Amino acid sequence: MPDKKLTVIVEQCLSPVPGGTGRYATQITAALAASAPAGWQVRTVTAWHRDLTRARIDGADGPHRLPAGHRVLNQLWRRGLPPTVRGAAVHATTPLAPGRQGNAVVTVHDAVPWTHPETLSPQGVAWHRDMVGRSMQRARAIVVPSQAVADDLAGLFPASSRRLHVVPHGVTAMDPPVDAMARRKRMGLPAAYFLSVATLEPRKGLDVLIQALARPAAGDAVLAIAGQPGWGGVDLLATAAAAGVPPERLRLLGRLDDDDLASALQGATALVAPSRSEGFGLPVLEAFAAGVPVISSDAPALVELSAGAAMVTPRENAVELADALAAVHTDANLRDGLRDRGLARARDFSWHRAATTLWELHLSR
């Protein structure tokens, strides 16, 4: 039996709105388990939940419940209190990490609580600043998904910048199922539409995208949005009504499983990512891997990720975004070029590569 355990905190898998960080937790844990060195085993833990189904990950032992519910655990660890996490090494897939364990490596997905605090709830800003700030001082290492996030955190915590390590995410293969067309019909998707994959919250810039739909250049384009409501009370139908966009031009799909998401991606004219800020941009990378053209904002992490493979427009600029929608919709050569560049860019990323780098961090002395 393996005598050493890497314990991974996968609480985000059980969040009501897991988002991209939930996908990261699932995929990186599975990759860590698949690439475990001889004598090591990956073990997972969560807060106390009745149903742990969504946190069960192939190859990992667990999940095991900690003796505190999610909200209590958040506050205990915010104060540096127990419970501790057993294991020769610990990996926190979000800033939710025990405060007094020097063997922990912590993934910090973005610096939004400092760079764009207005796009988060005040409680979220305070909690993340406390948790990330302490990890920057005490964790064995801090993993970030992009150089953009590393630069932000190094500027905020210059004395701790040596703890920062850029480990880009991988990409999840999502082949469309054989009934993809039927699934799109069930979701109410027309023959042509743009797709955005995002939690419904202010940071994602969906209001700017809807304003772009209202511009004459966008014509009668249909927008499908896959994602759950987050914080902030974002009401896209009300936003559309205020902008003069009729409701039939929106398809609010909610949270999709991978087969439905792959089906929606397959039929999309382009994926649109108008975010005000990102730490990485998993939906963009997944669109690249699926051969779907991408239009993104100029948020630094998205520019870094796309490396010229996406059509980039300025944040908050609905006019230029509408022009980009029109160009991609009407120009087949442009779509083909974006598709080819995206497929090539996606080949630069893998969960196995990310996991191998994380194992090197955990095993280094």
The domain segmentation of the chain, as residue ranges, is 4-170+350-363, 180-346
Dist CA 167 CA 10 (whole Å):
18
Q: How high is the pLDDT of residue 1? A: 45
Q: Which residues pair with 164 in a beta bridge?
A: 142
- Cβ neighbour number for residue 31 with a 10 Å cutoff: 23
The rounded distance, in Å, linking the Cα atoms of 165 and 101 is 19
Whole-number Å distance between alpha carbons of 224 and 252: 6
Q: List beta partners, residue 46.
A: 65
8 Å CB contact between 284 and 197: no
In sequence order, what are the residues at sequence separation of 6 or more whose Cβ sits closer than 8 angstroms to the Cβ of residue 233?
Answer: none
Does the domain formed by 180-346 have CATH 3.40.50.2000?
A: yes
Cβ atoms of 224 and 251 closer than 8 Å: yes
Distance CA 235, CA 200 (A): 8
Start-to-end C-alpha separation, the chain? 24
| pLDDT tens for each residue of the chain, 365 residues long | 456 999 999 999 999 888 889 999 999 999 999 999 999 999 999 999 999 999 999 999 999 999 999 999 999 999 999 999 999 999 999 999 998 778 899 999 999 999 999 888 899 999 999 999 999 999 999 999 999 999 999 999 999 999 999 999 999 888 999 999 999 999 999 999 999 999 898 999 999 999 999 999 999 999 999 998 877 778 999 999 999 999 999 999 999 999 999 999 999 999 999 999 999 999 999 999 999 999 999 999 999 999 999 999 999 999 999 999 999 999 999 999 999 999 999 999 999 999 999 999 999 86
What per-residue confidence (pLDDT) applies to 365? Answer: 66
Give the residue among 68, 59, 352, 15 at the shortest CA–CA distance from 44: 59
Fold agreement between 4-170+350-363 and 180-346: yes
Residue pair 311/324 in contact (Cβ under 8 Å)? The answer is yes
Q: Looking at beta carbons, which pairs linking 352-356 to residues 24 or more positions away fall under 8 Å? A: 352/31, 352/34, 352/35, 352/170, 353/170, 354/28, 354/31, 354/167, 354/168, 354/169, 354/170, 355/28, 355/31, 355/32, 355/34, 355/35, 356/35
Helix or strand run (H / E) with residue 363: helix 351-363
List CB contacts of 194: < 8 A, sequence separation 6 or more: 221, 222, 223, 224, 268, 269, 270, 271, 272, 295, 325
Q: 10 Å Cβ neighbour count for 69? A: 12
| Confidence (pLDDT) at 101 | 75
The enclosing H or E element of 46 equals strand 40-46
- pTM surpassing 0.85? yes
Dist. CA 9–CA 55, nearest whole Å: 10
Rounded distance, CA 70 to CA 12, Å? 10
pLDDT at 6: 97
Residue 133 CB neighbours (<10 A): 16
Relative to beta strand 311-313, strand 294-297 is parallel
Domain 4-170+350-363 sits in CATH at 3.40.50.2000
Residue among 329, 333, 295 nearest 312 (CA): 295
- Taking the C-alpha atoms of residue 303 and residue 299, their distance in angstroms, rounded to an integer, is 6
**Distance from C-alpha of 237 to C-alpha of 239, rounded to nearest angstrom:** 5
Amino acid residing at 22? G
| Residue 90 pLDDT | 97
Please give the Cα distance from 341 to 345 (Å, whole number).
Answer: 6
* pLDDT on residue 295: 98
Cβ-based neighbours of 52, under 8 Å, separated by 6 or more: 14, 46, 63, 65
Classify strands 89-92 and 4-9 as parallel, antiparallel or unpaired: parallel
Neighbours of 306 (CB within 10 A): 22
**CB–CB of 107/93 below 8 Å?**
yes
Q: Which pair of tokens denotes residue 225?
A: 């949005």
